[in-house]
């Protein structure tokens, strides 16, 4: 019997496992540990707000301890003494610094970096033969500022040859070259074959004729071509339009306001309006009966 009891007890010892502590026991132990820590330290409640003796420019920690840090230089007093203009006795201005002044038109012009389109002359010089053969055609190195100057350059520099031929870009490779009997035919060819496509891609360029030329165009009696379609004016012109200043505009509004007031004063009341309406209706009925 003793042997059986020993075997049974040893089996029970092997089966029984240690149980982990419950969650309630853990929370109670943690709460007790924290309470012991609090009772041992007994900290004072921290005051709220700015510390006593605080000055603008001083850190809160320095004011609480009463000893300024070595990097701060003694708080706001040291900053005032070391600041620019402190020797003159002028206090530092509070708030944001004033905005920088707007640059003048001259400064903006000097700071701008405009880019202008270069109008390159595509006229190719005539090939010359030498002992090693024909040399490659050389393109004119001229660079102009607008299309009108390019036209004048071609007519004055390259348009005085005899016979008058066109050596602009692809026309220079034609054999025989394109010849013209007079300058009018040459200019018409340049406008139709070369300048039109040239202006389509790069435009007319900057104009430097001055304001007087623009005034002459505005003072002319001929209307611009963009106002017409097939010879009929489709867009109204603003020429000879009367412009009024502020004083005239205020006077016109005042007159209109007076007219509206007079209209309201002279308007019939409701009874007169009903009588007028009935009278018109009766007159219409009489006219209808008379003609019927």
Tell me the C-alpha distance between 142 and 123, whole Å. 9
- pLDDT for residue 115: 84
Q: What is the pLDDT of residues 149-184, one digit of tens each?
A: 999 999 999 888 888 899 998 888 888 888 888 899
Task: Say if residue 2's pLDDT is above 50.
Answer: no
Q: What is the pLDDT of residues 245-273, one digit of tens each?
A: 888 889 999 999 999 999 988 888 887 77
Taking residues 50-68, report their average pLDDT: 70
Exposure letters 175-214 (e unless 16+ CB within 10 A, then b): eeeeebeeeeebbebbeebbbeebeeeeeebeeeeeeeee
Q: How many domains does the chain have?
A: 1
From 195, 149, 145, 151, select the one nearest 169 (Cα to Cα). 195
**pLDDT band of 130, cuts 50, 70, 90:** low
Q: Is 255 within a domain?
A: no
Q: Is 29 within a domain?
A: no
Query: What burial class does residue 140 get, using C-beta atoms within 10 Å of its C-beta: 0-12 exposed, 13-18 middle, 19+ buried?
Result: middle
- pLDDT for residue 24: 59
CA 48, chain centre distance (Å): 49
Taking residues 266-285, report their average pLDDT: 75
Task: Say if residue 80's pLDDT is above 60.
Answer: no
How does the average pLDDT of the chain come out, rounded?
75
Q: Is 93 within a domain?
A: no
Q: What residues are paired with 228 via a beta bridge?
A: 233
| Weakest-pLDDT range from 102-106, 140-144, 232-236, 238-242 | 232-236
Q: Is 51 within a domain?
A: no
Q: What is the pLDDT of residues 220-252, one digit of tens each?
A: 667 666 667 676 766 777 777 777 888 888 999
Taking residues 206-219, report their average pLDDT: 68
The alpha carbon torsion through 194, 199, 205, 208 (nearest 10 deg) reads 70
Tell me the pTM: 0.40
From 118, 168, 114, select the one nearest 143 (Cα to Cα). 118
SS3 243: coil
From 118, 78, 113, select the one nearest 205 (Cα to Cα). 118
Token pair 């005899």 is at which residue? Answer: 162
- Please report, for the domain that includes residue 172, its CATH number: 3.30.160
Query: What burial class does residue 137 get, using C-beta atoms within 10 Å of its C-beta: 0-12 exposed, 13-18 middle, 19+ buried?
Result: middle
Task: Say if residue 127's pLDDT is above 90.
Answer: no
Q: What is the pLDDT of residues 12-48, one digit of tens each?
A: 455 555 555 555 566 777 777 767 766 655 556 666 7
Task: Say if residue 187's pLDDT is above 50.
Answer: yes
Q: Is 70 within a domain?
A: no
Taking residues 61-67, report their average pLDDT: 66
- Beta strands 232-233; 228-229: pairing state: antiparallel
Domain that holds residue 176: 119-128+135-202
| Weakest-pLDDT range from 108-112, 156-160, 184-188, 210-214 | 210-214
Q: Is 157 within a domain?
A: yes
What percentage of residues in the chain have a pLDDT greater than 90?
A: 17
Question: CA distances (Å), 285 to each of 37, 141, 272, 273, 276, in order?
Answer: 109, 92, 20, 18, 14
Q: Give the tokens for residue 240.
A: 């000879």
Taking residues 279-288, report their average pLDDT: 70
Task: Say if residue 219's pLDDT is above 50.
Answer: yes
Q: Is 151 within a domain?
A: yes
Query: What burial class does residue 4 get, using C-beta atoms within 10 Å of its C-beta: 0-12 exposed, 13-18 middle, 19+ buried?
Result: exposed
Tell me the C-alpha distance between 60 and 54, whole Å. 7
Q: Is 57 within a domain?
A: no
């Amino acid at each position: 019997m003793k042997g059986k009891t020993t075997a049974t007890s040893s089996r029970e010892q092997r089966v029984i496992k240690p149980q982990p502590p419950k969650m309630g026991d853990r929370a109670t132990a943690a709460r007790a540990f924290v309470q012991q820590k609090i009772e041992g330290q007994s900290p004072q409640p921290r005051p709220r707000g700015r510390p006593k003796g605080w000055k603008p420019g001083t850190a809160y920690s320095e004011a609480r301890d009463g000893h300024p840090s070595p990097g701060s230089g003694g708080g706001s007093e040291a900053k005032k003494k070391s600041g620019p203009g402190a020797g003159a006795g002028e206090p530092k201005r509070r708030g944001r610094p004033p905005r920088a002044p707007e640059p003048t038109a001259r400064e903006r012009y000097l700071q701008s970096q405009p880019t202008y389109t270069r109008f390159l002359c595509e006229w190719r010089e005539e090939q010359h033969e030498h002992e090693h053969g024909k040399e490659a055609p050389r393109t004119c190195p001229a660079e102009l500022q607008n299309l009108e100057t390019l036209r004048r350059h071609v007519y004055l520099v390259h348009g005085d040859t005899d016979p008058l031929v066109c050596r602009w870009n692809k026309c220079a490779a034609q054999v025989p070259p394109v010849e013209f009997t007079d300058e009018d035919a040459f200019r018409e060819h340049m406008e139709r074959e070369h300048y039109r496509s040239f202006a389509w891609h790069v435009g007319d360029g900057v104009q430097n004729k001055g304001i007087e030329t623009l005034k002459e165009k505005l003072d002319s009696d001929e209307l611009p071509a963009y106002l017409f379609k097939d010879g009929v004016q489709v867009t109204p012109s603003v020429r000879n339009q009367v412009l009024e200043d502020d004083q005239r505009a205020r006077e016109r509004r005042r007159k209109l306001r007076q007219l509206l007031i007079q209209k309201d004063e002279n308007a019939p009341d409701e009874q007169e309006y009903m009588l007028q309406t009935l009278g018109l209706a009766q007159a219409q009925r009489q006219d209808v009966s008379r003609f019927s």
